Structure 1
């Protein structure tokens, strides 16, 4: 059931339009990530939902009620910022209790709710500590608890993990997802980190130049990107030149090999097209069985995966293979063949 509706949202700062006719329907309890590079408009959309920015056009509805002209304190929304934003002169307990005190909740109810929130983030034993006595990850947990304490209808997170080190980021994003699922709260998460978005989202909005280039599940976004921007921004992308051999049969020619691909080909026979593929869609093969052949320019050992870069007809292609202790990785300068899974090839129509 649709719970948060963004209809024809626009935002301009002076003569510069940073959000263009943004539309989205978000279900109750859904975890949505806005993913994109700096300046793409993702945080501006989040701030309009929160009420910190006024839309230049369009409407925002929560549970069927128009929120567009309401001030931030008139919307039942919880917000977690990138820079923790904890009150340095208050201990953990008082930071979490702050919104409840402002709302005039009775003291006994405040104490019970704060204890519930601290148990949720596993920091009950640190209630008397001040922010400077906490690690970055602990401070962000407190900020999350403070945002959730008033029981908001929607939780907004603006790159909450970007100031943390890699290991803490992974553990905390998993914790945020578990808490969100436990509470069933509708959540919008802004990030420029594709791994974060892919790992915890129900759906992802990939934004580019103020527009949603694609909205879909992590599986759809990664495996079936609909624009060149999405294909190149999410994950590593290889681009292959091909010729349409038989448009009606889905046949293309790459080098001296003809393949049948799953995608619809929007070009006539004999036309040049470009195909995209992920690094894991290819495997090293004997030269005679290979789809493409090239010279190894680098071989990176990444633990469970070995990434081999190969020069093919003037282009650099990357291929990932699982580490096999019994198989020696390719050596720089070797001529190798790569067999490509035709089903994994994506036509770049734009």
Structure 2
């Protein structure tokens, strides 16, 4: 049995069902991210694990113990919120110590544990400061230390980095992952930021309208999306419309150009319209580029993104983007230029709803 188990979870607010028959098992020490747009149900699931919301149906267990009858303060869970939620009238030491005091720990136990936690987040030199005297990143690390101080079975993180600037977000997410691995604590992380989820998770749950469209490793989610929604939400993706020419051989037409897919097309017939997915990094216009497939298009735009230059091609009715590394010795294609985009047939994925 999984350490954290969610079985047939449903949640409705009045007539509106926001979570539909959700099932997942999370292993001890695993870092799982719930990824999706606002309103997809990811935070509602987190709040049900914490006990702030009650499932309309289904069962949640931690280490085999049913959590249904337990109030939030009776569950051995640590939670970090988006808005820090530190006590403004308490210094760092007392904020981290709060849960331990409520639990009735002795003064010596509290002092020892707080010292351990502040050392873990590298803020032991700021124990006497108050929240208003600290940066947002420092406050969020204190909130993390407070959640971990009580030695919870499960750590819940509700978009903890969204209020921080970009550079602080990157450094703090790496720090959170390092601490999580060091402690081996089972962690559920909610985010709408795909880069965050891809960079620190063992597995990702991509949520769409109250359902899990796909559950898998970052590699699986990015490279083999199970649905059109996952394909379009995770990473930048070209969606190319094509007509099936010969399903047995995988032959299709993109506009007036023939393309042969790496595998036959199941359950379709000649003349059917399908959607193909192609990542921007899969294509190249270099003459030396490897690839058994190509499409010719006209350059519509070139965008300089620093280390990468992203170019958009018009191919029939589709706009196809591809990336090339910024090389001062290589001039990017210009507007209106006709170029051949080369790629491997295996990189074209058939997207099914």
Q: Counterpart of 1:248 in 2: which secondary structure?
A: coil
Alpha-carbon offset, residue 96 of structure 1: 0.1
Counterpart of 2:282 in structure 1 is 281
- Aligned match of 2:155: 155
- Residue 261 of structure 1 contacts residue 343 of structure 1 at CA under 8 Å; is this kept in 2? yes
Q: CA 1:292 to 1:129, structure 2 compared with 1: closer, same or farther past 3 Å?
A: same
CA distance in 1, matches of 2:174, 2:159: 14
- The answer to whether 1:345 aligns with 2:348 is yes
Once the two structures are superposed, the pairs formed by residues 250-269 of structure 1 within 5 Å of their partners are 250-254=250-254, 255-262=256-263, 264-269=265-270
Q: What's the counterpart of residue 63 of structure 1?
A: 63
Change (3 A) 1:249 1:312: closer
Which sections of structure 2, spanning at least 5 residues, go unmatched?
Answer: none
CA distance in 2: counterparts of 1:216 and 1:326, whole angstroms: 40
Distance between the aligned counterparts of 2:294 and 2:280, measured in 1? 14
What is the aligned length? 348
Pick which of 332-341 and 44-53 moved more. 332-341
User: d(CA) in 1 for partners of 2:259 and 2:149?
Assistant: 60
Answer yes or no: is the 8 Å Cα contact 2:9–2:21 preserved in 1: yes
Report 1:65-80 matches (<5 A). Answer: 65-80=65-80
Matches within 5 A, 1:25-44: 25-44=25-44
Taking only aligned residues, the RMSD between alpha carbons, in angstroms, comes to 1.5
Residue-by-residue CA offset, 1:315-339 (whole Å, 9 max, x unaligned): 2211111222221111122121111
Give, in whole Å, the separation in 1 of the partners of 2:338 and 2:346: 25
**Within 5 A, what are the aligned runs for 1:175-186?**
175-186=175-186
Question: SS of the counterpart of 2:96?
Answer: helix
- Change in Cα spacing, 1:200 to 1:262, as seen in structure 2 (3 Å) is farther
2:97 maps to 97
**Contact 2:298 2:339 survives alignment (8 Å):** yes
- Structure 2 SS opposite 1:111: helix
The secondary structure found in structure 1 opposite 2:243 is: strand
More off after superposition, 319-328 vs 58-67: 319-328
The change in CA–CA distance for 1:171 and 1:247 in structure 2 (over 3 A counts) is same
Provide the residue aligned with 1:49 in structure 2: 49
- Which of 306, 313, 316 is residue 310 of structure 1 equivalent to? 313
34-43 vs 332-341, greater mean Cα deviation: 332-341
The whole-number CA distance in structure 1 between the counterparts of 2:19 and 2:180 is: 27
TM-score of the pair, normalised by structure 1: 0.96
After TM superposition, give the deviation of residue 291 of structure 1 in Å. Answer: 2.0
**Structure 1 range deviating more: 261-270 or 1-10:** 261-270
1:7-26 aligned at under 5 Å gives the runs 7-26=7-26
Alpha-carbon distance between aligned partners in 1 of 2:204 and 2:271, rounded to the nearest angstrom: 36
Q: Describe how 1:110-259 pairs up with structure 2 within 5 A.
A: 110-254=110-254, 255-259=256-260
Gap runs ≥5 in structure 1: none
Judge conservation of contact 2:249–2:260 (CA < 8 Å) in 1: no
Which TM-score applies when normalising by structure 2?
0.95
User: Tell me, what secondary structure is at the counterpart of 1:268?
Assistant: coil
